[in-house]
Amino acid sequence: MGFQKKTGKGRLDKYYRLAKEKGYRARAAFKLLQLNKKFGFLQNSKVVIDLCAAPGSWCQVAVEATPRGSLIVGVDLSPMKPIPGVISFQSDITSDKCRAELRRHLKTWKADTVLHDGAPNVGTAWIQDSFNQAELTLQSLKLACDFLVEGGTFCTKVFRSAQYNQLLWIFGQLFDKVDATKPPSSRNVSAEIFCVCRGFKAPKHIDPRFLDPRTAFADLKENVTTDEARVYKPEVKKRKRGGYEEGDYTLYKEVLASEFVESTDPISILANSNRLVLDTLEPSLSLAALNKMPATTIEIRQYCLDLKVLGRSEFKKLLKWRILAREAFGLPTKKTPQPAVAEEEEVAEVEPMDEELKIQEDLQAMKDKNAAKRKREKRKENERKTKEIQRLQMHMTAPMDIGIESATGEEGMFQLKALEKDKVAGRIAKGRMAVLTERPKKNQDSGIGSSDDTDDESDDLNDTLERELDQHWDSFQDRRAKYEARLKRRKQEEDGEWEGLSADEQESSDDDIVQESDDSDDDEDDESPQRLLTDLDGTENDAGLSKRATKFFNQDVFKDIPGLEQSDSESIVGEGEDMTDAPVTGKSEAKTTGSERGSKTASKRNAKENASLVIDDEKEAEGEREQDDSWEDKHRRSDGRPNIDIITAEAMMLAHQLASGQKTKYDLIDENFDKYAFRDRDGLPEWFVDDEGKHDKKQKPITKEAAQAIKDKTRALNARPIKKVREAQARKKFKTAQRFEKLKKKSDLLANEEGMTEKEKAESIAKLIGKARKKAPKRSVKVVVARGANRGIQGRPKGVKGRYKIVDSRMKKEMRAQKRIAKRK
């Protein structure tokens, strides 16, 4: 017979695993451990009887929990592997033989505790199963009453069935204290419950009716084996515990077939008779008619010979035959119109049970199916979530992705479907169109609501406009916040560099900023959003110069430069823009300053550049500013500091000089005004200008420290593992963390385990840790066969490094032989 894995009902649960780990033969061990922990009856038990003990886990627990040298006797229908310290034998606990055997083992002793965890073969109808279980419990109680010492304990399994209350009542009569409990290790799906009956009263005389299932479960027994059950479920064989009927002491019963046909209770005849007689010595008209009927086939005759061997389908055929016979005899049947109420019932009796059973079965099947489906879905959902979290932890996904995915579920907040339902999507689409098409109209119109549109439409338009204004206002707020932050940052960076400015000027500059924001606030009333944004930037003053440019050119140095005042604002704006927004690089500074000095070439170039910088359109300006913003955002770290990677020794040296205060930004700018800055490039070929551009720079001296710093940096970069390796390392780390987390959970579970001692807990946890620990790789041992030059040598063979083992040709065979012998033992 193949081994069947217990996967049903989630059998491989934690207790199953724990039982395996601890060497218990069944997970049931934990039920007794938990019961004993709660009621503590095994500690003082010197004699224990375990009824229905196989495979023996309760016996194992009993050996552990009882005082050393206690007598433990286990009995079961099935054979049981021996357990040290336990006497076990095979017997039926309902038999007298079992009682005698127990007596033999106990001699004159009495048991302190009787355990019973018996379960008869189940799998038929639930009512039948539970009744059999209750019967078995009563049998075990009977044995307990025979063997228990006064004050002893009886611990038994009971099903929460119709007999449960009767059993509890009987326990109550025989014991001082009865506790019914379900230990945590007992599955919730199981109807089992455990009764711990303490303080056996040991009465001199026990009313035999207590221990007789016929009387103990008197009013329930009839329900269990009805005639219908016997006919429709003939495979459920029931022992005849009720004894013989009054005055009828024969087991074999014959009934005339005509009687069966005429009877109003055909079921009881089929259930209680052995044979339907079709031929009698005395002539009978009705039997003759039955014999002549074409429906009385050989098959039917065979069925009538022995009713006890018939199954459900045969009984059905007999009942059909009966109906045909009744029709032939003119007796009322279900098909005929109902002449008499009394006879109408007889056939109708058969159907309800059949249908009811079917409906019940169908209902149950549907329920099971639904429950399974729900469970499956829940499990899938949980698995999906776990995976997502893992992916997130491994940086394989962004939290946003989860949001999107989860939004696709039923509860998705932003489901388009849901929007469609509410017709919101349509409204949104409509609103958008309105924005695009109605805007120009609005400018032509004198005002909102002045059009001839219907009220609804104008309301929609108002809504849309309002929404749009809100959006503009929000984006304006965002941008203003960003702008102010940037401005502040710049101011901080440049503090001290504008030493030439007086305090008043500084104040005025501050005022300017306030003014700007005020302006922009005022502009809020202006309906053009573009204007809002342009003013917000506020980098220009009335003359078209940026503030910084104005400050710059207000310096005394520029006072005497002719043409600067009348220089077109566009070019100055360009310069101003360059000064403020472009990143400071030697080259750009050189260019800018070159133009300022009025050098012919540079000014020409600048004129070109400035021409390209001319901003005729506010939108374009805005776009550029946005580009600058994004450049700045990109090149700034989250803490607001510039994100510059220094990769050349020259840059490192400059950075060092700037950081140590040896030089200022303006020193660096000044240094760039050299002979190379004023080259006349007019008329030169492009390739030449390009090539010159690469070299017409002053070679700056590089300090030893800067060179070393760059070298170190490069070395550190090179020493860094490649991306793949780093990912693998991260994965490994993550997996280890996961394993550790699992281990922690398991240990917590074990630590909170009720049915274990502290020592056991510590041992189990140590075992878990041992398992989780990465095993050290086995050190390889070189096997050297002792032949040739190695035959009979002492010590390390020549040319062999590391661990070694010398073997000879016999060793393999001898080892195998030893194993064979050990197996035979």
Ligand X SMILES: C[S@@+](CC[C@H](N)C(=O)[O-])C[C@H]1O[C@@H](n2cnc3c(N)ncnc32)[C@H](O)[C@@H]1O
Query: Which range of residues in 91-99, 455-463, 512-520, 528-536 is near ligand X by CB under 6 A?
Result: 91-99
Q: How far is the CB of 36 from ligand X (least distance, A)?
A: 13
CB 140, min distance to ligand X, A: 9
Residue 567, both tokens = 């220089």
CB 581 within 8 A of CB 592: no
Establish if 28 lies at the interface with ligand X (CB under 6 A). yes
Nearest Cα to Cα of residue 574 among 607, 535, 619: 607
DSSP state of 546: B
Exposed (0-12), middle (13-18) or buried (19+): which is 369, by Cβ within 10 Å?
exposed
- 247: its two tokens: 């005055």
Between 118 and 755, name the residue whose CB sits nearer to ligand X.
Answer: 118
Q: How far apart are CA 321 and CA 808, in angstroms?
A: 86
189/340 with CB nearer ligand X = 189
| Per CB under 6 A, 15 contacts ligand X | no
Helix (H), strand (E) at residue 782: strand 782-785
Q: Are strands 86-90 and 71-76 parallel, antiparallel or unpaired?
A: parallel
Q: Give the nearer residue to ligand X in terms of CB position, either 89 or 734.
A: 89
**Which of the stretches 92-100, 169-177, 190-198, 679-687 binds ligand X when contact is defined by CB under 6 A?**
92-100
d(CA 223, CA 233): 14
Task: Please tell me whether 96 is known to bind a ligand.
Answer: no
Encoded one letter per residue, x for contact with ligand X by CB under 6 A and - for no contact, window 132-151 reads: ----x---------------
- Which one, of 632, 643, 637, lies nearest residue 486 by Cα? 632
One DSSP character per residue, 309-346 reads: G--HHHHHHHHHHHHHHHHHHT---SSS----HHHHHH
Is 92 a binding residue for ligand X by CB under 6 A? The answer is: yes
Question: Is the distance from CB of 114 to CB of 140 less than 8 angstroms?
Answer: yes
Work out how close the CB of 97 gets to ligand X at its nearest, in angstroms, rounded to a whole number: 11
Q: Is 29 or 465 the residue whose CB approaches ligand X more closely?
A: 29
CB 24 → ligand X: shortest distance, Å?
A: 8
92 is known to lie in a ligand binding site: yes
Stretch that binds ligand X, among 24-32, 181-189, 570-578, 659-667 (CB under 6 A): 24-32
Sole window of 111-119, 429-437, 656-664, 757-765 interacting with ligand X (rule: CB under 6 A): 111-119
Stretch that binds ligand X, among 53-61, 435-443, 693-701, 764-772 (CB under 6 A): 53-61
Q: What is the rounded (10 degree) CA torsion for 66, 69, 71, 72?
A: 50
**Stretch in the footprint of ligand X (CB under 6 A) among 49-57, 168-176, 414-422, 703-711:** 49-57
Q: Which of 37, 39, 94, 469 binds ligand X (CB under 6 A)?
A: 94
Q: Which is nearer to ligand X, 81 or 810 (CB)?
A: 81
Asked if residue 109 belongs to a known ligand binding site, the reply is: no
Select the residue interacting with ligand X from 33, 49, 53, 533 (CB under 6 A).
Answer: 53
Sole binder of ligand X in the list 22, 110, 120, 317 (CB under 6 A): 120
The answer to whether the CB of 592 falls within 8 A of the CB of 632 is no
Interaction between residue 76 and ligand X (CB under 6 A): yes
Q: Which of 12, 87, 119, 513 binds ligand X (CB under 6 A)?
A: 119
Check binding of 57 to ligand X (CB under 6 A): yes
Distance CA 294, CA 308 (A): 25
Binding pattern for the stretch 526-545 against ligand X, x by CB under 6 A and - elsewhere = --------------------
* Structure tokens, 181: 């409990």
In the complex, minimum distance from the CB of residue 121 to ligand X, in angstroms, rounded to a whole number: 7
Q: Which of 26, 353, 425, 668 binds ligand X (CB under 6 A)?
A: 26
Stretch that binds ligand X, among 4-12, 50-58, 651-659, 817-825 (CB under 6 A): 50-58
Of 42, 47, 52, 255, the residue at the interface with ligand X (CB under 6 A) is 52
Site for ligand X contains 25 (CB under 6 A): yes
Structure tokens at 198: 């303490």
| Min CB(142)–ligand X separation in Å | 12
To the query of whether residue 742 is one of the catalytic residues in this protein, the response is no
- Number of residues in contact with ligand X, rule: CB under 6 A? 22
Closest approach, Cβ 758 to ligand X, in A, equals: 24
Nearest C-alpha neighbor of 20 from the set 55, 52, 49, 53: 55
Interface with ligand X (CB under 6 A), residue from 77, 211, 319, 707 = 77
In the window 318-357, what residues touch ligand X (CB under 6 A)?
none
Minimum Å gap between C-beta 92 and ligand X is 4
Among residues 6, 22, 81, 157, the one annotated as catalytic is: 157
Residue 474 marked as a ligand binder? no
DSSP alpha helix (H) spans, 614-671: 618-634, 649-659, 665-671
54 near ligand X, judged by CB under 6 A: yes
Tokens 């009828």 sit on residue: 248
Q: How far is CA 108 from CA 47, 72, 97, 317, in A?
A: 11, 15, 18, 60
CA distances from 689 to 686, 700, 773 (A): 5, 22, 68
> What Å distances lie between residue 245 and 238, 271, 709, CA to CA?
16, 14, 111
> How many of the other CB atoms lie within 10 Å of CB of 271?
19
Helix (H/G/I), strand (E/B), else coil: 753: coil
Closest CB 139 distance from ligand X, rounded Å: 7
The nearest distance, CB 54 to ligand X, in angstroms, is 4
Is 191 one of the binding residues for ligand X (CB under 6 A)? no
> What are phi and psi for residue 547, nearest 5 degrees?
-60, -45
Whole-number Å distance between alpha carbons of 206 and 202? 9
One of 18, 86, 93, 256 touching ligand X (CB under 6 A):
93
Q: Is 519 annotated as a binding residue?
A: no
CB 257 within 8 A of CB 277: yes
Closest Cα to residue 157, out of 188, 193, 129? Answer: 193
Which active-site residues does the annotation give?
A: 157
Q: Which residues bind ligand X (CB under 6 A)?
A: 25-26, 28-29, 52-58, 76-78, 92-94, 117-120, 136
**Residues in the annotated binding site:** 56, 58, 76, 92, 117
**Residues in the annotated binding site for S-adenosyl-L-methionine:** 56, 58, 76, 92, 117
